[in-house]
Amino acid sequence: MLATLTIKNYALIDHLQVRFSEGFTTITGETGAGKSILLGGLSLVLGKRADLSSIKNSEEKCVIEASFKIENYQLEDFFKESDLDFEKQTIIRREILPSGKSRAFINDTPVTLDVLSQLGVQLIDIHSQHQTLQLTDNDFQFKVIDAVASNEKVLEKYTQKLTQYHQIKKELKKLIDFQQEADKEYDYNSFLLQELEAANLKEGMLEELEATYEKLNNVEEISESISHAQQILGEEQIGTLSGLNELKTIFNKLSHFGVSYKELYSRVQSALIELDDIHVEIQRLEEGLEADPQQLEEVNNKLQLIYSLQKKHHVLEISELLAVQKELAEKVSKTESLESDIKERQLELLKQEEELDAIAKTIRTNREKAIPALKKHLEAVLKELGMGNAQFKIDLEATSKYFSNGKDELHFLFSANKGGSFNELRKVASGGELSRIMLAIKSLLAQYMHLPTIMFDEIDTGVSGEISNKMGEIMQQMSKTMQVFTITHLPQVAAKGDAQFKVFKEDNQGVTASQMKELSEEERVREIAEMLGGKEVSDAATAHAKELLLKKN
């Protein structure tokens, strides 16, 4: 429930702080006193977008703060999901800075307007004349029927399943679209892939092939050079190895004459070992040299194929060709598996449709059972509100479409007069009739939706006498299970409140400001008497006011 409301520097309000209690609270005041300002401030703290023009003093910030007792409203999960501290008495604050920037806080934690709005709708239902138009909205009509039908849990299940259904449907469409495009490219991609696979590409093979080609293409020149090198090293008389062997013998004899000769001997010996190894390697190369025109042609053909593939795919390295090959393989494989993937998704979709149909059928059955009770309740309440001939015709029509709340279309028709034809509410119900219908619906929803607080803004406009008395009784009855506020001009309604607040204007040093105060029992008598007979309060009006207040219980 709404426990306190503080408003600073908003519209005509300098500073206002009020405390509220449980039950039924009525708010009265002359036209233009600022009752709508109160609603506007409360709407801001519940997440409505701010308007800089609403600041009274443009040099100071506007602050609106409301505290709510929420321990019995099962909001712990919302606070946890929103990363907020849960407090039994939660404080919501909204600040509008002179710069126009707006800030919102829940228990002193900054939040976005979206989070604020999500919490706000779970705390207060503000019923304005604008909201009365919701009656003509098909979604609201479904909401009423589903509340009476206790469809909340089954609708949650339906919504979850519908989300899965749309996801699978989206994936299926994506696969089908991909298949249509892939089919056009499949043959070409397959050809390119086969061409690359036939090349049997491997990392480093280009360098190996180019080296082999150079070797085979220049075998005579290489052979001559190798033979010459062999002669330099291995000639018995003048070969390098022969000379080094002589040096080795010389310094071996001199090594015992000093360290320097011994070191030279060691170095000559090391050089001899290395050159001997070089000689063996040269012999091996010489033995492996052989002209092979057929292999040269094969290597050249392979090289030309690789060069051609590189040019075709606009790459320079074998690794890049292998990446292209992998990508093509994936495309071809995916195209080949698309048909089975599509069939799999189609089967999944059929399964989802079967499950959705079963849930939608349950929703529809519950609605069909609830409609007679809803119709009976509304007509009975409207009869008490002076609309004895009011009738509803509520029909469900099964469809093949999956809507957000089932597979039904709803026809919510109304006739205000006996023998009159049924038509849509927006076409046949007047503003006063819509207000009374909305009150009847809200009184019913209060039994099913357990909304903590509801605030009616002049829902009794256009009615008087016994009808207004009955409207007050309905709101009074609602207040036994929830906190109810109503802004009213009718004394019969105002007197029904457990508490009554008056909104009024006062002038202070030439500045007009709106104020709000809770009335004492004596002040209530005076206020209601004025509502009955005007500023000049007569004894009869006072007596009538006292009588109305006595009847509230």
Q: What is the pLDDT along the chain (553 residues), one digit of tens a residue?
A: 999 999 999 888 888 899 999 999 999 988 776 777 788 888 888 888 877 777 888 888 999 999 999 988 889 999 999 999 999 999 999 999 888 888 999 999 999 999 999 999 889 888 876 666 677 788 889 999 999 999 999 999 999 999 999 999 999 998 888 887 777 776 777 788 788 888 888 888 878 877 776 766 666 666 666 666 666 665 655 567 777 777 778 777 777 777 777 887 888 788 888 888 887 777 777 666 666 677 677 777 888 888 888 888 888 888 888 888 888 888 777 777 778 888 989 999 999 999 999 999 999 999 999 999 999 999 999 998 888 899 999 999 999 999 999 999 999 999 988 877 899 888 887 877 888 888 898 888 888 877 678 999 888 877 777 888 899 999 999 998 899 999 998 999 999 999 999 998 888 777 888 889 999 999 999 999 999 988 888 899 999 999 999 876 6
Torsion of CA 287, 289, 291, 293, to 10 degrees: 120
Pair 73, 482: CB distance under 8 Å: no
From CA 3, how far away is CA 88, in angstroms rounded? Answer: 12
Report CA Rg, the chain: 46
User: What does the DSSP assignment read for 448-501?
Assistant: HH--SEEEEESTTTT--HHHHHHHHHHHHHHTTTSEEEEE-S-HHHHTT-SEEE
Q: How many CA atoms lie within 13 A of 274 on its CB side?
A: 6
CA end-to-end span of the chain: 22
From CA 293, how far away is CA 76, in angstroms rounded? Answer: 86
Please, what are the domains in the chain? Answer: 1-123+452-519 (3.40.50.300), 178-337 (no CATH), 524-553 (no CATH)
Residue entry with tokens 């491997």: 202
From CA 42, how far away is CA 48, in angstroms rounded? Answer: 9
From CA 363, how far away is CA 125, in angstroms rounded? Answer: 26
